[in-house]
Each structure stands twice: as structure tokens, then as C-alpha cells.
């Protein structure tokens, strides 16, 4: 008897089209790697996306750190997402009242809802933030992740915060597909658990970031997807590094299947 569901099993179970596509992609491309493409020019973002695209299920952006942003950029990025079969996740971390985030999501310079399949939000303001984002995202078939736990030292998302975040997600499961988290919050296979702060060896940076290994995240903590930024972007060869993280992440998943 199979005790742990595969990514493919979970694709069949979940009802949200974005979650379904994500799990299907993970199974087909044999990857649970999300690239955090934290670079500062459009050209570099497109170069990375094209080079690393075959190895990832998600490309995570911080579009507001691009110094030469033009709307063409997200148009070209969307083409690369289709070419390589990955989802775009703008790591905007919305954190305001519903009415404000609605505008931040749909309008302004970046018009995030036009091109980003997945966005994320802090649960801190209460359920109105999800309601506001939903008013924009639902009709466009977009998905949202709630930030339950952070990787940075001394963060205040402690105690019952993650549990309350899970409850908020459960009340909006037509739009929320999972969590940014450091550990698994629920055994419900519909939720996607996505974890930043990953390198091939444990460690930290000089500004409070704390790193776990792919094996710790996927096998021990039972999360689904690793987010890797500088482990890839600062490597001598980003494709070689991406392949190493893809392999480490997927092997950890296969190991967890055997548990």
C-alpha cells in the first residue's frame, strides 16, 4: 500500500487549476525547484529564465528590484514560462487592507495580476487581504500563497501565527493554494508547502537569512518545493547549480516516498 501521495497523485486530487498545473509539472519535469531570480536588470532575468527554465517548476520574481522595467519584460517572461513549462510567482508579499492590495495587485506600474500566476500575502492584516486579492485574481484563474513562517532570524511569525494562517487559507481555498513556510502545516494533500532559505549546506547570510538543505526541507520537514536564490544566481554557472538543486530536491522527495 502506498502511504505517501506522489506529486502526480496530488495533481489529480486538487481542484485549483494552478495547483493542478504545478503538481503535474513537478511530476513531468521531475523537479521541486523554484528559482528565486533576484537579479536587477530585465536582460539578466530573461537570460536566467531561459537557461534555468528546463529545471524549475516555478520562477519567483521581485519585479520591483528590476531597474530598467518595461512592460515588454513580463510579456517576454510569459513566453519563456510557456516555452519551458514553469509558473511565474511574483513575491510581492502583500500586507495591507483589502481595498489597497486590490489596487496594488491589478494596477500601478507592474499590473501584477496580468502576468503572475501566483502571488503571496501576509496573513497579518486579517482575511480582508485575501478577499481583496481574490476580487482581482479569481476571475483570472490566479492563485495565492499565504506566508505562514519566515526563514529570517527573529521573525515575529511565531506561536499560533501559522495555525491562524492555515485557518484563513481554509476559508479561501478557491484562491489560496498553499503556504510559504519552513515546515508542513497540514496533512491535506491539496496544500502546496513552499520553502525559501535553501542552500546545499546549512548556513546564514549577514542579514538574518537562515539556510536549510534540500533534504532537510523536503524529506525531514515534508515540504513540497524549495526556493533557491543566491545558491543559483551567485554560482559560477547557474545551470550547473540549478541542476544540482533539482537533483538534490528530487532525490529528497524520492527518499521521502520510501519513508
Q: Is residue 36 close enough to count as binding ligand BMP by CB under 6 A? A: yes
- Say if residue 197 carries a ligand binding annotation: no
The distance of closest approach from Cβ of residue 24 to ligand BMP in the complex, given in angstroms and rounded to an integer, is 24
Q: Which of 132, 196, 214, 249 binds ligand BMP (CB under 6 A)?
A: 196
Q: Is residue 229 close enough to count as binding ligand BMP by CB under 6 A? A: yes
What would the grid cell of residue 74 be?
Answer: 513580463
Strand, coil or helix: what is 131? Answer: helix
Q: Is the dihedral of CA 116, 118, 124, 126 positive or negative?
A: positive
Residues facing 210 on adjacent strands: 204
Q: Which of 185, 223, 227, 241 binds ligand BMP (CB under 6 A)?
A: 227
Instruction: Indicate the helix (H) or strand (E) that contains 92.
Output: strand 87-94
In whole angstroms, give the CA distance from residue 172 to residue 170: 5
CA distances from 99 to 64, 104, 125, 135 (A): 21, 9, 12, 10
Is 96 part of the annotated catalytic residue set? yes
Catalytic residue among 50, 64, 76, 96: 96
The distance of closest approach from Cβ of residue 229 to ligand BMP in the complex, given in angstroms and rounded to an integer, is 3
Binding mask 142-171 for ligand BMP (x = CB under 6 A): --------xxx-------------------
What would the grid cell of residue 257 be?
Answer: 516516498
Q: Which residue is nearest to ligand BMP (CB)?
A: 229
Q: Is residue 244 close enough to count as binding ligand BMP by CB under 6 A? A: no
Q: Which stretch binds ligand BMP (CB under 6 A): 103-111, 123-131, 185-193, 225-233?
A: 225-233
Q: Which of 98, 137, 197, 249 binds ligand BMP (CB under 6 A)?
A: 197
What would the grid cell of residue 76 be?
Answer: 517576454
Q: Is residue 180 close enough to count as binding ligand BMP by CB under 6 A? A: yes
Beta strands in 96-231 (DSSP E): 118-122, 143-147, 176-180, 192-195, 203-204, 210-211, 225-228
Q: What angle do CA 84, 77, 138 make, to 5 degrees?
A: 95
Q: Which of 21, 91, 217, 246 binds ligand BMP (CB under 6 A)?
A: 91
Q: Which of 122, 204, 230, 256 binds ligand BMP (CB under 6 A)?
A: 230
Q: Is residue 90 close enough to count as binding ligand BMP by CB under 6 A? A: no
In 215-227, which positions are buried (b, 16+ CB within 10 angstroms) versus exposed (e)? bbbbbebebbbbb
C-beta neighbour count of 170 within 10 angstroms: 12
The distance of closest approach from Cβ of residue 147 to ligand BMP in the complex, given in angstroms and rounded to an integer, is 6
In whole angstroms, give the CA distance from residue 36 to residue 32: 13
Chain positions 37 to 66 lying near ligand BMP, rule: CB under 6 A, are: 38, 62
Of 36, 33, 32, 63, nearest to 48 by C-alpha is 36
Is 91 part of the annotated catalytic residue set? yes
Catalytic residue among 50, 64, 93, 184: 93
Which residues participate in the annotated binding site? 38, 60, 151, 209, 229-230
Catalytic positions are 91, 93, 96
Interacting residues with ligand BMP (CB under 6 A): 36, 38, 62, 91, 150-152, 180, 196-197, 209, 227-231
Amino acid at each position: 500500500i502506498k502511504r505517501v501521495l506522489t506529486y502526480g497523485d496530488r495533481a489529480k486530487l486538487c481542484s485549483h487549476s494552478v495547483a493542478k498545473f504545478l503538481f503535474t509539472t513537478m511530476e513531468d519535469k521531475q523537479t521541486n525547484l523554484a528559482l528565486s531570480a533576484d537579479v536587477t536588470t530585465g536582460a539578466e532575468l530573461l537570460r536566467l529564465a531561459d537557461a534555468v527554465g528546463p529545471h524549475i517548476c516555478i520562477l519567483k520574481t521581485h519585479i520591483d528590484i528590476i531597474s530598467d522595467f518595461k512592460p515588454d519584460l513580463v510579456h517576454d517572461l510569459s513566453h519563456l514560462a510557456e516555452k519551458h513549462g514553469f509558473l511565474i510567482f511574483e513575491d510581492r508579499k502583500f500586507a495591507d487592507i483589502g481595498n489597497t492590495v486590490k489596487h496594488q495587485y491589478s494596477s500601478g506600474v507592474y499590473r501584477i495580476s496580468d502576468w503572475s500566476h501566483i502571488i503571496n500575502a501576509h496573513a497579518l492584516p486579517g482575511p480582508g487581504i485575501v478577499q481583496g486579492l481574490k476580487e482581482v485574481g479569481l476571475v483570472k484563474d490566479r492563485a495565492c500563497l499565504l506566508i505562514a513562517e519566515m526563514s529570517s532570524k527573529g521573525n515575529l511569525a511565531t506561536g499560533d501565527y501559522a495555525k491562524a494562517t492555515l485557518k484563513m487559507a481554509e476559508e479561501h481555498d478557491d484562491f489560496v493554494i498553499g503556504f510559504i513556510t519552513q515546515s508542513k502545516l497540514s496533512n491535506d494533500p491539496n496544500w502546496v508547502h513552499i520553502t525559501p532559505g535553501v542552500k546545499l549546506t546549512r548556513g546564514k547570510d549577514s542579514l538574518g537569512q537562515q539556510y536549510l538543505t534540500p533534504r532537510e526541507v523536503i524529506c525531514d520537514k515534508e515540504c513540497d518545493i524549495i526556493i533557491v536564490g543566491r545558491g543559483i544566481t551567485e554560482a559560477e554557472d547557474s545551470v550547473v547549480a540549478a541542476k544540482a538543486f533539482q537533483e538534490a530536491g528530487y532525490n529528497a522527495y524520492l527518499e521521502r516516498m520510501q519513508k
